[in-house]
Amino acid sequence: MSNSNRINRHPLPALTVGVMGSAGGVIAQDVRQRVRRLGEEIGRRGYVLITGAAPGLPQDAVLGAKAAGGFVIGISPALNLEEHVTKYHSPTRGYDAIIYTGSGLMGREIENIRSCDVVVFAGGRSGSLGEFAIAYDEGKVIGALTATGGVTDHLRGIIAIMQKETAAVVTFHDDPVHLLDELEAIYHQQILPHYLKTIEGHDPDGIPEPG
């Protein structure tokens, strides 16, 4: 039985996988294909894909996830749909829900990362670097899809320069399926047991506030 099947059998919400990366610039076709393959695999495994509702590589992941029947959430910097489309020129295709934060591009990064159980980076520029810094500082499980250029191909050096230990676990692979396998294994071994312990004795419907 795969780790994904074991995870999905537990009484927890679906695993959320963030894909962060280049929203513009020159992106090689093979990189776009691998990120789309990553999205397909996220959808096929029954996970929820989360992106910053941005064009470029994040949108490639969205289209891949939807092609595989996946569920996709976008965390938008905009205040509403009008701003999402006219100010940020952000995509709408492929999303099951778009959360409008009204926080702008930089403010949105925090909500974006905190909404994910694991985060994958591909390519990336300054925005992705900021998202990586948040994910690393907050101890996330992080995957780097290597040979995609941009910030992602420099993450080993960035981590070394920072000289800061956090609870983050970072894994690297150039194959999207193998990378997701590794992230799934880390989640299953290090994160899931803590979550399961946390919900012991928990009322799944919550406790009503006192009158």
- Delineate the domains of the chain, giving CATH numbers in brackets: 24-198 (3.40.50.450)
Q: Provide the whole-model pTM.
A: 0.92
Note the pLDDT of residue 204: 87
Mean pLDDT of the region 79-101: 98
Lookup: tokens for 72: 């996709």
Tokens 């290597």 identify what position? Answer: 146
3-state helix, strand, coil in the chain (%, to 5): 45, 15, 35
Which H or E element spans position 210? none
Q: Check pLDDT > 90 for residue 12.
A: no
Note the pLDDT of residue 9: 55
Lookup: tokens for 8: 């999905």
Mean pLDDT of the region 172-191: 97
Residue type, 175: D
Q: Check pLDDT > 70 for residue 48.
A: yes
Q: Check pLDDT > 50 for residue 6.
A: no
State phi, psi for 32 to the nearest 5 degrees. -60, -40
Residue type, 81: L
pLDDT digits (tens, 9 = 90+) for 114-159: 999 999 999 999 999 999 999 999 999 999 999 999 999 999 999 9
Q: Check pLDDT > 60 for residue 83.
A: yes
